[in-house]
Amino acid sequence: MTALVIAIVLATTPLAAQWLHQPTPGIPRTADGKPNLAAPAPRTALGKPDLSGLWTKSADKFYNNIAADLKAGDVQPWADTLYQQRKKDYGKDSMEVLCLPHGPAYTTSPYRDSKIIQTPAVIVILNNDLTYRQIFLDGRDLEKDPNPNWMGYSVGHWDGDTLVVESNGYNDKTWLDYDGHPHTETLRVTERYRRPDFGHIELEVTLDDPKAYAKPWTVAIKMELTPDTEILELVCDNEKDRAHMPSNAKGSDLHVPPETLRKYAGTYETREGSKTHTVEVSASDDALFWDFDGAGKQKLVAVSETTFSLSGTVIEFVKDPQGAVTTFRMQEVEGETKGQRRK
């Protein structure tokens, strides 16, 4: 089949064949026919919460910086040095850029839809980039001397209505976040899944790697059900961007005067289709911080007095003719996003 014929076949394939607008059978709905995400959580024949479904995670600060809540000294010196170097390079050697499996970061990343398929003996998690996990519930012990791999090994058990998952056996090639926090092959991850209602899962993830971090720590992740659709394949291939990505070779932030930083502080709004997002920008004496929809503060790295980087995403603050900051422009792979200042 020629490339032209293939293109024609793909172009004429009905969108409905992808099941992107397929109603999910048997789910609770409101009077207007919409999924009732506040309805009680479903249960299996064994009486346990059924976690099955297609799930998305809320964007938050842990995607870029899994150690955002740790204190100075909690990251071992060698790990912090490596993290700082990766951060200067804006993630150009990250799993996402290199088209490699994310490993433990799938659990906290908001940009990977996951489909959970639950049976009494095993839970399977399918990621939209064609990776998968198996969580065995058959009583087997976790591997004691695992052969390290990309996705690790996982066993689970129920603690009341909470699913507890223990995982190990990750290779040390993956990062814990986009900015580049490393881990060793001694990493152990504990996940606790609780489904309080039909449309939400509350997830707590505890990371324990004594060779890289001074103590275990826990991050909270929110998951929301995505009904009436199916998982859509999202495969990274033919990567050609890495050679063009910049890095911060100087290794330090450009100093911007505190009075200049304070001019950018305020509340901004952006629109994505019919949805409005709120961005809170705050300033300290020597840094500017970004908080998207209340997900938590993230430090911006100064590139110039008006332009800043958020893990490689460029944000430029724009003034009107009178010198007042009125908007920001955020440059992403998908295009430019504008934020209008409200106060």
* Interatomic CA distance for residues 281 and 140, integer angstroms: 49
* Interatomic CA distance for residues 312 and 134, integer angstroms: 33
pLDDT given for residue 252 in this prediction? 52
CB 53 within 8 A of CB 290: no
Span 184-225, pLDDT tens digits:
999 999 999 999 999 999 999 999 999 999 999 999 999 999
Task: Kindly report the CATH number that applies to the domain delimited by 53-225.
Answer: 2.40.128
Same fold, 53-225 and 258-341: yes
Q: If pLDDT is split at 50, 70 and 90, which confidence band does 243 have? A: low
pTM of this structure: 0.75
Average the pLDDT over each of 49-53, 55-59, 95-99, 242-246 and give the range with the smallest value.
Answer: 242-246
Buried/exposed 1-13: b ≥16 CB within 10 Å, e otherwise = eeeeeeeeeeeee
Please name every residue paired with 222 in a beta bridge, in sequence order, or none if there are none: 202
Task: Kindly give the residue spans of alpha helices, DSSP state H, lying in 18-169.
Answer: 77-88, 95-98
- Candidates 2.40.128.50, 3.40.640.10, 3.40.50.970, 1.20.1560.10; CATH matching 258-341: 2.40.128.50
Span 57-108, pLDDT tens digits:
987 889 889 999 999 899 999 999 999 999 888 788 889 888 999 999 999 9
Give domain limits for the chain: 53-225, 258-341
Q: Are β-strands 153-159 and 132-136 bridged in parallel, bridged antiparallel, or unpaired?
A: parallel
pLDDT given for residue 57 in this prediction? 92
- Is the torsion defined by CA of 97, 169, 53, 206 positive or negative? negative
